[in-house]
Amino acid sequence: MRSTSAVPQPSRRAVGLTLALISACAFGGSGTAAKPLIEAGLSPLHVVWLRATGAALFLLPVAWRHRAVVRRRPGLLLGFGAFAVAGVQACYFAAISRIPVGVALLIEYLGPLLLLGYVRLVQRRPVSRGSAIGAAVAVTGLVCVVEAWNGMTFDPLGVLFALVAACCQVVYFVLADAGSQGDNPVNPLAVTAYGLLIGAAVLTAACRPWEADWGRLAGNVTMNGHLVPAVLPAAWMVLVATVLAYLTGVVSVRHLSPPVAGVVANVEAVVATVLAWVLLGEHLGAPQLLGGLLVLIGAFAAQLGRSAPEPAAPPVVTATPADRPSDELHPCA
């Protein structure tokens, strides 16, 4: 049973929406921070490993403090680390090695629609019409944001990797919500810390980081024609685009619902495009601006179209009026 809170429901949803937007904005900056490092000579997988491992080391004291959760919910932590952290990142980068980045991003962000299908068909829970419409509008906007009609190529293995990344994104939202279930929910800090630790371990086996030239982090990288120390985008990627992004994302799911949080997460694509425009000089076209507007409309529609709360159970009548004394037939102050 989900834990209750004394915070009124509208306030909880406002907090959840705010955290979901912060998470989407933080995630959206990961590509802008990673691209200069990749252009400086680090491979994409090594950059992903740096991101996960740096965040895991930063949260290591948090993991130690919440070490008891390993015995209580090991499956939750293993699933979050393997799928929500390592799976999403590794499969996405494997996809873009075979198909265009825009196409891979679009397929990955089919996650919200897949999530709605999981909630409706597997969990047998109702899905509000607003959430479904919002997801459809947001995905339509993503078609414009990534300009999927440019450079469309079909590589079965690349498409498969992107679809697996989308499924891993569904696991992210489902497990983030599952951590709040039961009489003894898991602290979001613990889910984030151990998820990143496990994800870093999985990526270490896949990426072989000892083969990377980490000395490049001591030099400079180019961002929109300006030289900046490589450690700055690396630190941003670790602390903001990973630690802050995952933590606020996990908490937001617990204040909203997985379908609504999944739709709001589509804002990440808009943020990524705008940051690439401002910091990397990648210009926006009219279709991308229109797509960004559709993504925002879709996220907003999902918020307005939330399911109505279940009606409160009627009071149990323990005695009929004929069985009760006459002075109990009227309420007293």
DSSP bridge pairs for 196: none
Whose tokens are 């870093």? That residue is 200
Q: How far apart are CA 183 and CA 166, in angstroms?
A: 30
CA distances, 243 to each of 15, 23, 66, 251, 264 (Å): 19, 10, 16, 12, 19
Q: How far apart are CA 221 and CA 36, in angstroms?
A: 6
In a domain, 329, yes or no: no
Burial class (CB in 10 A: 0-12, 13-18, 19+), 317: exposed
In a domain, 215, yes or no: no
Q: What is the pLDDT of residues 261-312, one digit of tens each?
A: 777 777 777 777 777 777 777 776 777 778 778 877 876 776 665 544 444 4
In a domain, 325, yes or no: no
In a domain, 321, yes or no: no
CA distances, 305 to each of 19, 139, 231 (Å): 19, 17, 43
Give the domain extent around 228: 9-178+185-210+221-304
Into how many domains does the chain fold?
1
The amino acid occupying position 163 is L
In a domain, 297, yes or no: yes
Q: Parallel, antiparallel, or unpaired for β 220-223 and 226-229?
A: antiparallel
Q: How far apart are CA 1 and CA 187, in angstroms?
A: 15
Q: What is the pLDDT of residues 16-67, one digit of tens each?
A: 889 989 998 888 888 788 888 988 888 888 999 999 999 999 999 999 999 9
- Residue 74: strand, helix, or coil: helix
pTM of the shown model:
0.74
In a domain, 319, yes or no: no
b/e code 45-76 from CB counts within 10 Å (16+ = b)? bbbbbbbbbbbbeebeebbeebeebeeebeeb
In a domain, 134, yes or no: yes
In a domain, 48, yes or no: yes
